[in-house]
């Protein structure tokens, strides 16, 4: 639960404050990634967001661009970043010189102080209608990777593309998972790329959509990780107690059907909206709290899927904040764990702090996180 400093810490004695900061230092990492979208006009500054996420011990953040303000705000922290190249860059990135110039401008100036681990090239391209854009995708990924090799960064930063769940032709039973036949020529080349570069396959999964479209057929408890009868794969006899794990295993099966068994699958987006239009069934704060809260618990337990029990699932939750300028139905603006003022949209036990005061990167570089927290407390208290 987020608590604003001004309303909380003024009465605390210094001894208690010291214990308070030690508590944060010893708190375990959430083990989950967060999507940090910025399609809004009321979000806190990146330096305040940096403070919030570190107080939550979130160590992995995914951006949709390479915002220099964000990368600078997280300098000298333990937070790992996925940064993004928009679809509008794809044609240019197939040119090695342009790809290298982009990395030299958007990655190299920050990489020494802010840990960048992945560059996503485009987003959900294969389920769009632009055939030419689809043809640009793999050459763009290859161009960015070659540029990383040339700059000596390919062992530290991998290249991937977040897919929509719409690339799947079949998802149940999971052992029969398959990709759409009309996309096979694109996906086959991308899978070869992942093998060659030892990079993961990224996909966005939202069980919310399945429930919203068929609320009378899809059991709500099954999509919310609540106790339920589950489903059994008739081919493998593996039992699934939630939809997300079944979806992940379906992707593994689809990849295997194309001849590969050594490509890890990561969920680059998943989440549940706290509000929606009248026809968006299930979009409530209660359901969002159950979905994300139960998912967090499973992540902390390092759970794997039934087909990959020894491989902990890797997930980036969507999203950090509600984004008031996102187009589309109301749900699109209500996926956030937090309101822009740092107040939790619902309570799932997260306790973080969004300072009212802004701190420059220089100040953050000069002080450790605990020292900065104490300094803020001291200033407000006195």
Active site residues: 124, 269
Q: Annotate 227-244 with three-state secondary structure.
A: CCCCEECCCCCCEECCHH
Quick check: helix, strand or coil at residue 116? strand
Quick check: helix, strand or coil at residue 94? coil
CB 176 within 8 A of CB 254: no
Residues 6+ apart with CB under 8 A from 57: 24, 27, 28, 29, 30
Per the document, the length of the chain is: 382
Contacts made by residues 130-137, CB under 8 angstroms, sequence distance 24+: 133/87, 133/90, 134/186, 136/90, 136/91, 136/93, 136/94, 137/90, 137/161, 137/186, 137/190
**In whole angstroms, how far apart are CA 226 and each of 105, 113, 286, 297?**
46, 41, 12, 12
**In whole angstroms, how far apart are CA 304 and each of 113, 122, 208, 249, 294?**
32, 28, 21, 10, 14
Residues 6+ apart with CB under 8 A from 230: 222, 239, 240, 241, 242
> Could you tell me which residues are beta bridge partners of residue 188?
none
What is the Cβ-side half-sphere exposure of residue 35, based on CA atoms within 13 angstroms?
23
> Could you tell me which residues are beta bridge partners of residue 321?
338
Detail the DSSP E strand segments found in the chain: 33-35, 60-62, 80-85, 115-121, 158-160, 162-164, 168-170, 178-179, 201-204, 231-232, 239-240, 265-270, 315-318
Alpha-carbon gap, residue 65 to 88, rounded angstroms = 11
Tally of helices (H runs) and strands (E runs) in the chain: 14, 13
Pairing of strands 178-179, 168-170: antiparallel
């Amino acid at each position: 639960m987020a608590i604003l400093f001004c309303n909380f810490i003024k009465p605390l004695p210094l001894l208690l404050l010291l214990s308070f900061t030690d508590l944060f230092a010893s708190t375990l990492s959430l083990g989950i990634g967060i999507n940090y979208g910025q399609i809004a006009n009321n979000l806190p500054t990146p330096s305040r967001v940096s403070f919030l996420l570190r107080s939550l011990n979130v160590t992995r953040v995914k951006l949709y661009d390479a915002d220099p303000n964000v990368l600078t705000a997280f300098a000298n922290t333990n937070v790992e970043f996925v940064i993004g190249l928009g679809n509008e860059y794809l044609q240019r990135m197939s040119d090695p010189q342009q790809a290298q110039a982009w990395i030299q401008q958007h990655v190299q100036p920050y990489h020494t102080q802010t840990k960048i681990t992945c560059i996503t090239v485009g987003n959900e391209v294969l389920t769009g209608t632009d055939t030419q854009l689809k043809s640009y995708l793999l050459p763009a990924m290859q161009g960015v990777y070659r540029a990383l090799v040339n700059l000596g960064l390919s062992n530290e930063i991998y290249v991937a593309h977040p897919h929509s769940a719409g690339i799947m032709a079949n998802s149940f039973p999971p052992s029969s998972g398959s990709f759409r036949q009309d996309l096979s020529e694109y996906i086959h080349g991308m899978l070869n790329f992942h093998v060659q570069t030892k990079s993961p396959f990224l996909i966005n999964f939202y069980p919310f959509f399945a429930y919203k479209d068929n609320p009378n057929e899809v059991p709500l408890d099954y999509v919310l990780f609540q106790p339920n009868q589950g489903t059994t794969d008739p081919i493998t006899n593996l039992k699934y107690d939630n939809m997300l794990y079944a979806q992940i295993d379906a992707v593994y099966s689809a990849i295997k059907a194309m001849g590969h068994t050594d490509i890890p699958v990561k969920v680059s987006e998943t989440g549940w909206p706290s509000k929606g239009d009248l026809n968006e069934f299930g979009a409530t704060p209660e359901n969002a709290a159950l979905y994300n809260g139960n998912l967090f618990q499973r992540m902390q337990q390092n759970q794997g899927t039934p087909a990959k029990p020894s491989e902990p699932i890797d997930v980036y939750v969507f999203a950090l904040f509600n984004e008031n300028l996102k187009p589309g139905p109301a749900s699109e603006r209500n996926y956030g764990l937090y309101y822009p003022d740092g107040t939790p949209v619902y309570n799932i036990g997260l306790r973080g702090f969004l300072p009212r005061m802004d701190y420059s990167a220089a100040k953050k570089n000069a002080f450790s996180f605990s020292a900065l927290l104490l300094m803020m407390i001291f200033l407000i208290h006195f």
